[in-house]
A and B are shown apart, each in its own frame.
Chain A
Amino acid sequence: MNIFQDANRTQIAGRRRTDWLLHILFVVATSIGVIALCALIVDILIDGIARLQPDLFTNFPSRRAEGSGMKSALVGTIYMLLIMAPISFIFGVGAAIYLEEYAKKGKITRLIQLNISTLAGVPSIVYGILGLALFVRLLALDRSLIAGALTMTLLVLPIIIVSAQEAIRAVPKSRRDASFALGATKWQTVYRSVLPSALPGVLTGVILAMSRAIGETAPLVMIGALTYVAFLPEGLKDSFTVIPIQVYNWLSKPKVEFQELAASGIIVLLALLLLMNFSAILLRNKYQKNV
């Protein structure tokens, strides 16, 4: 007795053909993203590799493309990172510890949490508007390094808080219990037990947030990070520029030489990002082995 004889094999063959076609379609759709990334990288390398000379790092920008560099932008980016990193680390991790370890589950906590996830979706240029009104005008910090760094700190805080919360949440409850069982106070437990275990995860989040910050252009344009800075900032209240703004400046000049400079600036920016992401991945791997 063949129970399969009434099978409609043509119908099944048709469905399989549809499945096969859709499979191809999905693969093609997925590869478009990958191809776009490759095209972007190749395009930038071709345009910018020739200008990747020592001049680029040692010279200040100038009106002539020849010998023009991005020394001030590179230094500005690094200074900004150095100011941002500790401030955003302290506030971000502090907020995460409060929300995970201290906050009572209630309306206020829910509100703070909702507020953080909403802030993460606010366009970066709106942070620029806030920075302009708050730091540049109200606190009269002018168009300075510190105004830029504080604006960017506000921008990346939600990212750091969320990732630090995840890292803290991943610390097993048994560690806290063990610490409490030895008579430690809540703060001692948090500071000596929870935080060290969560630290690699927290740092990964901080690094990723910093890599977001060094690529941001719009908010710094708003607060007026200058595009033509032929000196290095010496104090917090000096004016400054950063790599993406220098790139934007070159990009808005029609001459082909400046376009090439923009491309080589992008190569430097991407290399910096790659370095930061790579160290974040290394940290994350270490983290996964430990917990």
Chain B
Amino acid sequence: MEALININKLNLFYGAFHALKDVTLTIPEKAITAFIGPSGCGKSTLLRTLNRMNDMIPGTRIEGGIAIGGTEIYSNEVDVETLRKKVGMVFQQPNPFPKSIYDNVAYGPRLHGITSKKELDEIVETSLKSAVLWDEVKDHLKRSAFGLSGGQQQRLCIARALAVNPNILLMDEATSALDPISTLKIEELAQELKDKYTIVMVTHNMHQAARVSNQTVFFLNGEVIEYSDTEKLFSNPTDQRTEDYISGRFG
């Protein structure tokens, strides 16, 4: 597997708080990488640097580099709008816009300049199909997205992210607000999507990381403690702290 994301000696500060310390990491393409660790360990912060969502928090300072496909994402070579188009994100709470199902999915493509109705129809259909939502909603695309169940809303958000044709999909505890059946559906969906997309997920749930991911990174206090194949990290961790965490001694 080829590396797609290269994080090199990344330090991040929120004001005086040192949130990420010397993080160096390579994330392979077309695989699922899971970030685990106790709350406040920096896993979500790192995820949000990958599409520069941290830029919007005043007082954030970054040192070191993140390259995606060899391009430094904090350089002038990339516009943040393009970065976010290429690096999609799904959030903790399903956050559909108060618009119709169709308009939710078409929002991104419209932003990036697609106006033709035919083209948009196609994008909406393929995105909803990729998110395994099409069959459930194809007959009422004009209805409000708020009428969908929580799990359906989250799949709609995934479809919305896929509609702008990203390479990478970030999932920030995307199942934590969902019931077990919806969670399972999202996990299955992630498995399908990894053939085409590089997925990075933050999860609170170690079992989920073990079930779904190919690689797992364990964070503690803003540092990467251990990074390896998921199977190896859960069966045979090298660091004592990793072992303590996965065996439930803290966190």
Complex interface: chain B residues within 8 A of A1 (CB): 69-70
Tell me the complex Cα distance, A12–B111, Å.
10
- Residue B39 interfacial (CB < 8 Å): no
| Interface pair B68/A9, CB less than 8 Å apart | no
> Would you give the shortest CB distance from A19 to chain B, in whole angstroms?
10
| B68, B78, B79, B83 pick with most chain A CB within 10 angstroms | B79
Annotate B68-87 by CB proximity to A: 1 below 8 A, 0 otherwise: 11110000011101110110
Closest to B113 in A: A11
A7 to B165, CA, bound (A): 12
What's the minimum C-beta distance from A133 to chain B, rounded to whole angstroms? 48
Which residue of chain B has the shortest Cβ distance to A11 in the bound complex? B113
CB contacts under 8 Å to B, within A161-205, are none
The answer to the question of A253 belonging to the interface, with a C-beta cut-off of 8 Å to chain B, is no
B69 close to A12 (CB less than 8 A) = no
Question: Which one of A3, A8, A11 lies within 8 Å of B68 (CB-CB)?
Answer: A3
Measured in the bound complex, the distance between the Cα atoms of B112 and A8 in whole Å is 8
Give chain B residues whose Cβ lies under 8 Å from the Cβ of A9.
79, 82
B83 touches A4 (CB 8 A): yes
Interface residue from A2, A3, A15 paired with B81 (Cβ < 8 Å): A15
B112 touches A11 (CB 8 A): yes
Residues of A within 8 A of B82 (CB): 4, 7, 9, 12
Contact at B79–A3, with CB atoms within 8 Å? Answer: no
Question: In the bound complex, what is the Cα–Cα distance between A2 and B70 (angstroms)?
Answer: 7
Instruction: Digitize B91-126: 1 where CB-to-A-CB distance is under 8 Å, 0 elsewhere.
Output: 000000000000000000001110000000000000
By a CB distance below 8 angstroms, the chain B residues around A15 are 81, 111
Scan residues 44-102 of chain A and give those whose CB is less than 8 A from a CB of chain B. Answer: none
Question: Which chain A residue has the least Cβ–Cβ distance from B82?
Answer: A7
B77 cross-chain contacts in A, Cβ below 8 A: 4
CB pair A7 B79 closer than 8 Å: yes
Interface size of A by CB at 8 A reads 10
- Check if B167 is an interface residue, CB within 8 A of chain A: yes
> With A and B bound together, what is the CA distance between A11 and B110 in angstroms?
12
Residue picked from A1, A4, A9, A11, most chain B C-beta under 10 Å? A4
Neighbour of B78 across the interface among A4, A8, A11, CB < 8 A: A4
Interface string of A1-30 (1 = CB under 8 A from B): 111100111011001000000000000000
Q: Is there an interface contact between B81 and A12, defined as CB atoms closer than 8 Å?
A: yes
Distance in angstroms between the alpha carbons of A2 and B83 in the assembled complex: 12
Q: Nearest Cβ in chain B — how far from A45, in angstroms?
A: 37
Instruction: Tell me the nearest residue of chain B to A1, going by C-beta.
Output: B69
Question: When A9-B79, A12-B79, A12-B81 are in contact, do A4 and B112 touch as well, CB less than 8 Å?
Answer: no
User: Chain B residues with Cβ under 8 A from A8's Cβ?
Assistant: 112-113
Whether the pair B81, A4 counts as a contact (CB closer than 8 A) is no
For B167, what are the chain A residues with a Cβ–Cβ distance below 8 Å?
A: 3
| Closest residue of B by beta carbon distance from A13 | B79
- When each residue 112-143 of chain A gets 1 if its CB lies under 8 Å from chain B and 0 otherwise, what string results? 00000000000000000000000000000000
**A17–chain B nearest beta-carbon distance, Å:** 13
| Residues of chain A lying within 8 A (CB to CB) of residue B68 | 3-4
Contact assessment for B69 and A7 in the assembled complex, using a CB-CB cutoff below 8 Å: no
| B81 / chain A contacts, CB cutoff of 8 Å | 12, 15
A269 to B88 CA separation, bound complex (whole angstroms): 58
In the assembled complex, the CB of B28 is this many whole angstroms from the nearest CB of chain A, namely: 13
A9 and B81 CA atoms in complex are apart in Å by 10
CB distance from A13 to the nearest CB of B (A): 8
CB distance from B248 to the nearest CB of A (A): 35
Interface pair A2/B112, CB less than 8 Å apart: no
CA distance A12 to B69 in the complex (A): 21
**B71 neighbours in A (Cβ, 8 Å):** 2-4
Question: Which of A3, A7, A12: most chain B Cβ within 10 A?
Answer: A3
What is the chain A residue whose CB lies nearest that of B78?
A4
Question: How far apart are B73's CB and chain A's nearest CB, in angstroms?
Answer: 9
Cβ contact within 8 Å between A7 and B70: no
**Cα–Cα, bound, A7→B77 (Å):** 10
Task: Assess whether B69 is in contact with A3, with CB atoms less than 8 Å apart.
Answer: yes
Q: Is the beta-carbon distance between B69 and A4 smaller than 8 angstroms?
A: yes
A2 to B167 CA separation, bound complex (whole angstroms) = 11
**Sorted from nearest, which 6 A-B pairs have the closest CB atoms?**
A7-B82, A3-B69, A12-B79, A1-B69, A3-B167, A11-B113
Can you sample 29 A-B contacts with CB below 8 Å?
Answer: A1-B69, A1-B70, A2-B69, A2-B70, A2-B71, A3-B68, A3-B69, A3-B71, A3-B86, A3-B167, A4-B68, A4-B69, A4-B71, A4-B77, A4-B78, A4-B86, A7-B78, A7-B79, A7-B82, A7-B85, A8-B112, A8-B113, A9-B82, A11-B112, A11-B113, A12-B79, A12-B82, A15-B81, A15-B111
Chain B residues near A (Cβ < 8 Å): 68-71, 77-79, 81-83, 85-86, 111-113, 167
Taking A4-B86, A9-B79 as given, write out 6 further A-B residue pairs in contact, using a Cβ cutoff of 8 Å, ordered by the A residue number.
Answer: A2-B69, A2-B70, A3-B167, A4-B78, A7-B79, A9-B82
